[in-house]
Structure 1
Amino acid sequence: MTVMAAHEPPRAQHDLLEVFLGLDTPDGYRAELIEGEIAVSPPLSGDHEDLIDLIVDEIRRKSRTRMQCSGHKGLAVPRSDGLFPPNHLIPDVTVAPRDVRLFRGAPSWMEPDGVAMVVEVTSGRAGLDRVDKRYAYAQGGIPLYLLVDRDQESVSLFSEPLRDDYKEVVSAPFGEGLPLPDPFGFELDTGDFI
Structure 2
Amino acid sequence: MTASTPDRPRILVEEFEELARTEPETVRLEFINGKIEVKPVPDGDHDEVIRWLQRQCMQHRPDLWLYGERRLKVASYRKGRAIPDGALAPDEHFVGRAEWSDPDGVLMLVEVTSRDSDTNQRDRVDKPIAYAEAGIPVYLLIDRDHHTVTVHCEPEGGRYRSLTTRPYGTTIEIPDPVGITLETERLKHYGG
TM-score under structure 1 normalisation?
Answer: 0.86
Deviations 1:48-77 (A, max 9, x none): 1111111111001112x6111210001112
- The aligned residue for residue 65 of structure 2 is 68
- The aligned residue for residue 106 of structure 1 is 97
Task: Structure 2: give runs of 5+ residues left out of the alignment.
Answer: none
For 2:80 and 2:178, the matched residues in 1 are separated by 27
Deviations 1:76-130 (A, max 9, x none): 1225xx3x4x1100000001122xx321111110011000000000002322001
Of 152, 155, 165 in structure 2, the residue corresponding to residue 161 of structure 1 is 155
Aligned partner letter, 1:157: V
State the percentage of identical aligned residues.
Answer: 37
Runs (4 or more) in structure 1 with deviation over 6 Å come to: none
Deviation at 1:16, TM superposition (A): 3.2
The structure with the largest strand share of the pair is 2
For 2:6 and 2:65, the matched residues in 1 are separated by 38
- 1:141 counterpart SS class: coil
For 2:82 and 2:150, the matched residues in 1 are separated by 19
Give me the CA root mean square deviation.
1.8
Q: Is contact 1:68–1:96 with CA below 8 Å preserved after alignment? A: yes
Aligned partner letter, 2:167: P
Q: Is contact 2:137–2:177 with CA below 8 Å preserved after alignment? A: no
Of 135, 140, 152 in structure 2, the residue corresponding to residue 141 of structure 1 is 135
- 2:4 counterpart SS class: coil
- The aligned residue for residue 17 of structure 2 is 21
- The aligned residue for residue 87 of structure 1 is 80
Does 1:77 pair with 2:74? yes
Between 1:32-41 and 1:134-143, the stretch displaced more is 32-41
For 1:104 and 1:59, the matched residues in 2 are separated by 20
State the aligned residue count. Answer: 180
TM-score under structure 2 normalisation?
Answer: 0.87
- 1:30 counterpart SS class: strand
Question: Which structure's relative contact order is higher, taking Cα pairs within 8 Å and 6+ residues apart?
Answer: 1
Q: Is contact 1:144–1:157 with CA below 8 Å preserved after alignment? A: yes
